Amino acid sequence: MTAPSGKPIRVLQIAVLALVVLNGFLFFTLRQIKRRPARFEEIDAERINIVEKDGTLKLALFNSARLTRGTDQREAQGRIAGMLFYNEDGYECGGLVYMGKKTPTG
Structural element, H or E, at residue 17 = helix 7-32
- How does pLDDT run across 39-84, given as a tens digit for each residue? 889 989 888 999 998 888 999 998 887 776 544 445 545 577 889 9
Band (pLDDT 50/70/90 cuts) for residue 89 is confident
- How does pLDDT run across 91-101, given as a tens digit for each residue? 889 888 887 77
Question: What is the value of pTM for the model shown?
Answer: 0.53
Integer Rg of the chain from CA: 28
Query: Regarding predicted confidence, which is higher, 42 or 3?
Result: 42
In degrees, to the nearest 5, what angle opens at C-alpha 52 toward C-alphas 46 and 57? 45
